[in-house]
Amino acid sequence: MRLERAELLHVALPLITPFRTSFGTMTSKDTFLLHIVTDRAEGWSEFAADPEPLYCSEFLAGAEIVIRDFLLPRAAALRTLTTAALAPALAAVKGHELAKAALETALLDAELRAHGMPLATFLGSVHERVPAGVSVGIKDSLPELLDDVERYLAEGYVRIKLKIEPGWDVAPVRAVRERFGEALPLQVDANTAYTLADAEHLRKLDEFGLLLIEEPLEENNLHAHARLQRRLATPVCLDESIHNARDAASAIAMDACRVINIKPARVGGYPEARRIHDLAAAHGVPVWCGGMLETGIGRAPNLALAALPGCTLPGDTSASGRYFAEDITEPFVLRDGHLPVPTAPGIGIDPLPDALARFTTARRQLYPRT
């Protein structure tokens, strides 16, 4: 394939309810879609991070520059542009996994559409639908939290993840356990809010039979996570600290985690996500597919990943209605606690022209430079 054009569409979708984590509160999904045109087909992707570098070091405005000035020129210079050729061509650019994932996914979408192949087939997915968990933000009060959890369970979500931070950890977990019972699949996510000095406190969570505790300590501090894991019965799950398969290999070898949250964007794209899945499976380490409050454009390819055989825990891939009153694609609807894996070629979904027009706040051509 040959790259003909790449454009960025900045979109802003209001969230149904504010989403509060230990690193901030989001009230809208404010991101860009990347649309590429090749001589064979077109492709779409969604940048996963936010306007501010609070979850990870990457952010919207920075990613636009990285894609425009450093990634697209390398893609355009390839004699034959394929997904397989792209990653080595981008390797000279350090870091910026989320920006690379946006470009690679748009290209992969175009390439698979040209071949008439769904992403799920390309990845080797084995399920037609995947169980959906839901990530529940930090609330002002326990009654408010219990109401939210009750509503999600009534909708059919099969697993609850509670966002935690110092001051909002043992009490909400205890309240949810007391109200909904021991059998509820329950886990927590601290988004790096604790330090090793909190180990004794975090041990109090052990009595609640959690599936896992996600990214309790500083990003990239595998050593501290390994020391914490030695003191906890609850499996440690890494999110922010895993940027590629090499990190995953180190973390597993060090026993810094016993579960991995795979976010394809965070690890540079779907092929690397697949490698982490395979590596973890070879070590008997369960993985699951995380989320970043994506619109349908980002959610569709995540569902293909979530359908891999090693994704043995429910993911954070919730239905469109958990986030938005109106999505930018046909909405993903929860049925029987599951979401369908797209079956159309590529990521398997397109933006709805009308919704796209209404949610788009800016549009810029990135290649060729005008």
Residue with smaller CB distance to ligand OSB, 189 or 272? 189
Minimum Å gap between C-beta 338 and ligand OSB is: 16
Helices 270-282 and 97-115 pack at an angle, to 10 degrees, of 100
DSSP 66: I
Query: What tokens appear for 171 in the block?
Result: 């009490």
d(CA 175, CA 301): 35
Provide the mask over 221-250, with x wherever binding to ligand OSB is found by CB under 6 A and - wherever it is not.
------------------x-----------
Minimum Å gap between C-beta 288 and ligand OSB is: 10
Give the H or E element holding residue 339.
Answer: strand 338-340
Asked whether position 272 contacts ligand OSB by CB under 6 A, the answer is no
Exactly one of 172, 269, 291, 314 binds ligand OSB (CB under 6 A); which one?
Answer: 291
Helices 83-90 and 97-115 pack at an angle, to 10 degrees, of 160
| Stretch of residues binding Mg ion (CB under 5 A), selected from 72-80, 208-216, 301-309, 317-325 | 208-216
Exactly one of 58, 316, 327, 350 binds ligand OSB (CB under 6 A); which one?
Answer: 316
Is 163 an annotated catalytic residue?
A: yes
Q: HEC states along 96-133?
A: CHHHHHHHHHHHHHHHHHHHCCEHHHHHCCCCCEEEEE
Provide the mask over 31-60, with x wherever binding to ligand OSB is found by CB under 6 A and - wherever it is not.
------------------------x-----
Is 161 an annotated catalytic residue?
A: no
CA distances from 81 to 20, 40, 88, 272 (A): 40, 11, 12, 18
Asked whether position 135 contacts ligand OSB by CB under 6 A, the answer is yes
Query: What tokens appear for 353 in the block?
Result: 């022209």
Q: Which of Mg ion, ligand OSB, none does 229 bind, CB closer than 5 to 8 A by kind?
A: none
- 222 Cβ contact partners less than 8 Å away, ≥ 6 residues apart: 241, 247, 250, 251, 254, 256
Helices 83-90 and 270-282 pack at an angle, to 10 degrees, of 90
Residue type for 139, please?
K
| Residue 3 three-state SS | strand
Minimum Å gap between C-beta 291 and Mg ion is: 9
Residue with smaller CB distance to ligand OSB, 189 or 327? 189
Minimum Å gap between C-beta 210 and ligand OSB is: 15
Exactly one of 287, 293, 339, 355 binds ligand OSB (CB under 6 A); which one?
Answer: 293
Minimum Å gap between C-beta 290 and Mg ion is: 6
d(CA 152, CA 155): 5
| Stretch of residues binding Mg ion (CB under 5 A), selected from 28-36, 68-76, 207-215, 245-253 | 207-215
Asked whether position 292 contacts ligand OSB by CB under 6 A, the answer is yes
199 by Cβ neighbours in 10 Å (0-12 / 13-18 / 19+) ranks as: middle
Residue among 29, 161, 163, 204 flagged as catalytic: 163
- Residue numbers 173-192 binding Mg ion by CB under 5 A: 189
| Stretch of residues binding ligand OSB (CB under 6 A), selected from 58-66, 221-229, 287-295, 304-312 | 287-295
Positions in the binding site for ligand OSB (CB under 6 A): 55, 135, 189, 191, 239, 290-293, 316, 318
